[in-house]
């Protein structure tokens, strides 16, 4: 049986500043190759799969700094691309500043999700300056056997493989779950950061605006103030913070 791994790599980018007095707005990004699909890696029986996935990312971006975890294994008979009959997905988070080299066949796409009013349909746009991919996904709640399950289905016209869309969906769901229960948010940022940067990571992943004053208090135990101050070219300079290593929860 032929197996392959694929990599669902998330990152962020900052938009050009439109108003000098406003903060740069961060956007959530995803890596796809020229076929609108995820980069793949080989799986062999000599090595832990996770190690193979890590090696591939190192090879691609020439950096050992990133977050990675297994996302899901897909055995959908209709997803046999590259002769592969089974795909093991790994979710990764990478801070672009750590990327030493960008492979030519890969590109970062901004993710934009729009929830259609009064319906379970989400409109997703993946875009960068060269390309735009659009599709709609319907998240249906359905009774399957004895249980209630979410079924995702592409609807209307789409420019992407159905399973690819479902994997993106699964990846974002996982991010949302992890950001509430672990410290993955820090994987998007430099070692030192402003609270507003951290807040933006939460906002783009959870896809909602947060109240700064409350956010600050909520994440207080997770961060440590450094003595550094930086004017992230906003007006009042902000303190730099780091992740508080002492903060451990019942993660995973």
The SS3 call for residue 247 is coil
Contact string 147-166 vs DNA (x = CB under 7 A): --------------------
- Chain residues binding a second copy by CB under 8 A are 1-3, 43-50, 52, 54, 64-67, 70, 72-73, 75-77, 80, 85-86, 88, 141, 145-150, 173, 183-184, 187, 248, 251-252
Q: Residue 194: which of DNA, a second copy, none does it interact with, CB under 5 to 8 A by kind?
A: DNA
Q: Which residues contact 225 (CB under 8 A, 6 or more apart)?
A: 239, 240, 241
Q: Is 248 a binder of DNA (CB under 7 A)?
A: no
Looking at the Cβ atoms of 110 and 205, the one nearer to a second copy is 205
Contact 5, 41 (CB under 8 A): yes
CB of 131 to a second copy, least distance (A): 30
Q: Is 144 in the site for DNA (CB under 7 A)?
A: no
- 20 is an interface residue for DNA by CB under 7 A: yes
Please report whether residue 75 would count as binding DNA according to CB under 7 A: no
- Residues contacting 29, CB < 8 A, separation 6+: 10, 11, 12, 13, 108, 109, 110, 111
How far apart, in whole angstroms, are the C-alpha atoms of residue 15 and residue 23? 9
Q: Does 213 bind DNA (CB under 7 A)?
A: yes
Whose Cβ is closer to a second copy: residue 17's or residue 249's?
Answer: 249
CA atoms within 13 A on the CB side of 109: 25
End-to-end CA distance of the chain: 31
With CB under 7 A as the contact rule, the residue among 123, 153, 216, 224 that binds DNA is 216
Secondary structure (3-state) at 75: coil
């Amino acid at each position: 049986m032929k197996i392959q791994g694929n990599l669902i790599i998330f990152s962020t980018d900052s938009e050009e500043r439109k108003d000098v007095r406003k903060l740069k707005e961060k956007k959530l990004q995803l890596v796809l190759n020229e076929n609108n699909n995820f980069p793949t890696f080989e799986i062999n029986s000599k090595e832990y799969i996770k190690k193979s996935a890590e090696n591939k990312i190192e090879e691609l971006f020439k950096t050992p700094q990133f977050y990675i975890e297994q996302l899901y294994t897909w055995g959908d008979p209709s997803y046999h691309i590259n002769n592969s009959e089974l795909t093991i997905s790994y979710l990764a988070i990478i801070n672009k500043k750590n990327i030493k080299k960008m492979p030519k066949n890969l590109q970062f796409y901004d993710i934009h999700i729009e929830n259609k009013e009064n319906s379970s349909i989400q409109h997703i746009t993946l875009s960068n300056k060269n390309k735009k991919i659009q599709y709609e996904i319907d998240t249906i709640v359905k009774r399957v056997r004895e249980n209630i399950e979410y079924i995702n289905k592409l609807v209307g016209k789409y420019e992407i493989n159905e399973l690819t869309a479902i994997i993106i969906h699964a990846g974002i769901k996982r991010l949302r779950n992890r950001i509430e229960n672990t410290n993955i948010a820090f994987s998007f940022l430099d070692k030192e950061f402003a609270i507003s940067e951290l807040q933006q990571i939460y906002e783009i992943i959870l896809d909602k605006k947060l109240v700064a004053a409350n956010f600050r208090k909520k994440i207080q135990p997770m961060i440590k103030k450094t003595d550094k101050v930086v004017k992230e070219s906003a007006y009042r300079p902000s303190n730099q913070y780091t992740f508080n290593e002492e903060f451990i929860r019942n993660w995973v």
